């Protein structure tokens, strides 16, 4: 009799399980941001009737990229800055700061950059260790890697990494929400992404949007394996997950959406000695449901993070350390996806000429556009400060127009300096 009741109960569980699966949202294509169809010839010929309203900007009229510092909170160590555009056109930055990376006093700071006055607000604490552990109802030892996203309902979502035990390899991702553009935040919630005590999932790069309004978050493991994973999220819940790479050689995936079903992911390489120190690449043709490793992007990578951005013109930007060892040189590359060649358009930092002991670290770049045509870059400056650089749309448009065309680019190797 007991067995019959148990089997009836199992039947009930089966029905609930099937209802749950049926109610699960289907995988959706990527949301494609509107791309202004601007040919480089058109950029240079604003007098043509019907041409887009983009003025030909002469070299002298274009302001050089403008750099400043994200406000200092007086702590010894800062790292992992990220940015998001606010509804009023301003830009909010997030970073973590404390006495040293991984210390218990590390907090996640935020400040707003006023794009009209070019001034930063005073930094405020978004999350500290105690608030995180009280909200998550579990012990938290340290915080890191804040990454903001905009939800389809207009709210801000901030992902960040928490560690309860061990080093960064023991990380899990948590998230908070804001209804008021980051002034106040909800209680933190935990993303469950790994079957082994939810250990070792981190986030570094921005999320991409699906056409159903949900987010796809590129994440990575760096414990037993070092590989990328693509999380499909419904707010604070992981509703699906797909592997972007495997093994121990590629972390911190950065996703460029090319079309509704097509995207390319660039990784930070973590290969062992003797292997190519270049950017590993994966590709999907079904909106992230499956990924295939393809040949490397032939740009040097010294095991350091890569940042990227797609502009409305369709141009792709990459900020990275294009050297095989060290992080003392940081550059900005641009590519026209139709041509597929990366061109160096700006050297942001370069200590190549200095002796080793005097070289500084310029790392963890993060790119974001407030208007779709401009670019804000934030990066760690020697682990002591966060540098912010603004590239105007005019400057980027000019750089795009100077990219080699298909016929000439075919013969050019990757990452050549633009004229």
For residues 108 and 383, give the distance between their C-alpha atoms in angstroms, rounded to a whole number: 15
Query: Mapping DSSP to helix (H, G, I), strand (E, B) and coil, where does residue 29 land?
Result: coil
Q: Does 122 bind other proteins (CB under 8 A)?
A: no
| Residue 227 engages other proteins in binding (rule: CB under 8 A) | yes
Given 51, 238, 348, 418, the residue binding other proteins (CB under 8 A): 238
Asked if 69 touches other proteins (CB under 8 A), the answer is no
Q: Is 329 in the site for other proteins (CB under 8 A)?
A: no
Out of 246, 278, 285, 402, the only residue in the binding site for other proteins (CB under 8 A) is 246
Residue 190 CB, nearest distance to other proteins (Å)? Answer: 5
Q: Binding residue for other proteins (CB under 8 A) from 35, 136, 260, 418?
A: 136
> At its nearest, how many Å lie between other proteins and the CB of residue 127?
15
- Return the residue of 96, 266, 291, 395 that touches other proteins, per CB under 8 A: 291
Query: Is residue 2 a contact point for other proteins (CB under 8 A)?
Result: yes
Structure tokens given for 290: 């499956």
Q: How far is the CB of 189 from other proteins (least distance, A)?
A: 5
Binding region for other proteins (CB under 8 A) out of 11-19, 41-49, 73-81, 305-313:
11-19
Contacting residue, 125, 197, 294, 347, with other proteins by CB under 8 A = 197
> In the complex with other proteins, which residue's Cβ is closer, 30 or 223?
223
Round to whole Å and give the CA distance between 412 and 409.
5
Q: Is 66 in the site for other proteins (CB under 8 A)?
A: no
What's the full length of the chain, in residues? 419
CB of 412 to other proteins, least distance (A): 33
Q: Does 87 bind other proteins (CB under 8 A)?
A: no
Rounded (5°) CA angle 195-198-203 = 115
User: How many residues sit in the footprint of other proteins (CB under 8 A)?
Assistant: 57
CB of 153 to other proteins, least distance (A): 17
- Complex with other proteins: residue 17 or 213, whichever CB lies closer: 17
Residue 114 CA to residue 278 CA, distance in Å, equals 37
| Alpha-carbon span 113 to 92, nearest angstrom | 6
Confirm if 310 and 257 have CB atoms less than 8 A apart: yes
Contacts of 75 (CB under 8 A, 6+ apart): 97, 98, 99, 105
Say what the alpha-carbon torsion angle 39, 43, 48, 49 is, to the nearest 10 degrees: 70
Using the contact rule CB under 8 A, the part of the chain among 30-38, 107-115, 131-139, 399-407 near other proteins is 131-139
Nearest residue to 43 (alpha-carbon basis) of 34, 52, 35: 52
For residues 204 and 45, what is the distance between their CA atoms, to the nearest angstrom? 40
State the minimum distance, in angstroms, from the CB of residue 3 to other proteins. 5
Structure tokens at 264: 């390319």
Q: How far apart are CA 35 and CA 223, in angstroms?
A: 39
* Residue reference for tokens 């040097």: 300
When asked if residue 102 is in the footprint of other proteins (CB under 8 A), the reply is: no
SS3 168: helix
Residue among 36, 224, 354, 412 that touches other proteins (CB under 8 A): 224
Candidates 108, 111, 156, 236; binder of other proteins (CB under 8 A) is 236
Give the C-alpha separation, 119 to 111, whole Å. 10
Q: Which of 21, 64, 122, 353 binds other proteins (CB under 8 A)?
A: 21
Q: Which of 17, 89, 167, 340 binds other proteins (CB under 8 A)?
A: 17
Query: Which residues are CB-neighbours of 17 under 8 A, at least 6 positions away?
Result: none
Q: In 10 A of CB 201, how many CB atoms?
A: 23
List contacts with other proteins (CB under 8 A). Answer: 2-3, 6-7, 9-10, 12-14, 16-21, 24, 130, 133-134, 136-141, 164-165, 187, 189-192, 194-198, 221, 223-227, 236-243, 245-248, 291, 293
């Amino acid at each position: 009799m007991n067995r019959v009741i148990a089997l009836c109960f199992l039947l009930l569980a089966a029905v609930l399980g099937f209802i749950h699966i049926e109610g699960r949202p289907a995988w959706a294509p990527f949301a494609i941001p509107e791309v202004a169809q601007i040919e480089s010839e058109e950029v240079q010929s604003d007098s043509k009737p019907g041409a887009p309203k983009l003025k030909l900007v002469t070299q002298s009229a274009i302001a050089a990229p403008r750099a400043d510092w994200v406000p200092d909170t007086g702590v010894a160590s800062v790292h992992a800055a990220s940015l998001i555009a606010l509804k009023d056109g301003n830009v909010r930055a997030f970073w973590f700061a404390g006495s040293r990376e991984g210390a218990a006093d590390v907090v996640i700071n935020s400040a707003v950059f006023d794009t009209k006055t070019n001034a930063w607000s005073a930094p405020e604490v978004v999350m500290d260790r105690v608030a995180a552990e009280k909200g998550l109802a579990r012990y938290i030892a340290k915080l890191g890697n804040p990454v903001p996203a905009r939800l389809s309902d207009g709210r801000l979502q901030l992902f960040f990494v928490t560690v309860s035990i061990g080093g960064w390899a023991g990380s899990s991702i948590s998230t908070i929400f804001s209804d008021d553009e980051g002034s106040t935040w909800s209680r933190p919630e935990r993303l469950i992404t790994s079957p082994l005590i939810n250990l070792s999932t981190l986030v570094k790069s921005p999320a991409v949007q699906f056409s159903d309004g949900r987010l796809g978050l590129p994440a990575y493991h760096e414990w037993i394996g070092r590989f990328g994973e693509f999380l499909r999220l419904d707010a604070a819940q992981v509703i699906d997950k797909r592997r972007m790479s495997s093994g121990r050689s590629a972390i911190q995936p950065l996703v460029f959406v090319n079309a509704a079903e097509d995207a390319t992911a660039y990784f930070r390489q973590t290969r062992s000695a003797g292997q190519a120190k270049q950017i590993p690449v994966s590709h999907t043709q079904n909106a992230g449901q499956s990924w295939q490793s393809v040949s490397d992007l032939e740009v040097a990578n010294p095991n350091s993070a890569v940042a990227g951005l797609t502009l409305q013109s369709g141009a792709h930007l990459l900020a990275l350390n294009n050297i095989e060892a060290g992080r003392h040189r940081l550059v900005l590359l641009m590519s026209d996806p139709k041509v597929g060649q990366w061109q160096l358009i700006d050297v942001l930092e370069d200590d190549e000429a200095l002796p080793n002991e005097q070289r500084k670290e310029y790392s963890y770049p993060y790119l974001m556009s407030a208007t779709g045509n401009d670019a804000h870059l934030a990066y760690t400056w020697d682990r002591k400060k966060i540098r912010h650089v603004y590239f105007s749309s005019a400057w980027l448009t000019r750089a795009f127009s100077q990219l080699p065309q298909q016929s000439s680019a075919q013969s050019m190797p990757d990452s050549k300096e633009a004229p």
